[in-house]
Amino acid sequence: VGERYEAETAPAVCQGTIDSNHTGYSGSGFCNGDNAVGAYAQVTVTPEAAGTATLGIRFANGATGARPANLVVNGTTVATVSFEPTGAWTTWSTKTVTVPLNADGNTVRLDPTGSAGLPNIDYVDVGSAA
């Protein structure tokens, strides 16, 4: 059984604004990060057990270029994610990555490496430890 961590729900961090002007999001809104390198979105996740977990990152990128980001877990970059255009800000897609997690709280940060910043981020789903 997985858990969903909404980008707008404390203790999540959004270096930007929580918006709700583009339909199709889950919960009460999404993180619209500032358009800048390093303007991050972060959730704190507690898995059922330590080990490798599958993350599903839901996003929308209505711009014309990809918005790559480092995926930083507990302060360590464990992957890079290329958030390609989805065609519209109301068109949401999910990126799947596997990451190592502790059994306690883990910070999962999407740290954009381009000057356009992140795509809009809806939530992070965390699957069972594999």
Please state, in angstroms and rounded to a whole number, the distance separating the CA atoms of residues 49 and 64. Answer: 39
Least Å from the CB of residue 21 to ligand GCU: 6
- Which of 6, 12, 15, 22 is in the footprint of ligand GCU by CB under 6 A? 22
Q: Which does 89 bind (CB under 5 to 8 A by kind): Ca ion, ligand GCU, none?
A: ligand GCU
Least Å from the CB of residue 40 to ligand GCU: 14
96: amino acid identity, one letter: T
Residue 15 as a binder of Ca ion (CB under 5 A): the answer is no
Cβ atoms within 10 Å, residue 82: 10
Nearer to ligand GCU, 22 or 58 (CB): 22
**DSSP annotation of 117:** -
Taking CA atoms, 82 is separated from 79, 103, 114, in Å, by 10, 27, 11
Least Å from the CB of residue 99 to ligand GCU: 25
What is the chain's length? 130
Residue 120 as a binder of ligand GCU (CB under 6 A): the answer is yes
Closest residue to bound ligand GCU by CB: 32
Closest CA to 2 of 78, 60, 56, 79: 56
**DSSP annotation of 103:** S
Note the residues at the interface with ligand GCU (CB under 6 A).
19, 22, 32, 35, 63, 89, 117, 120
Binding site for Ca ion (CB under 5 A): 32
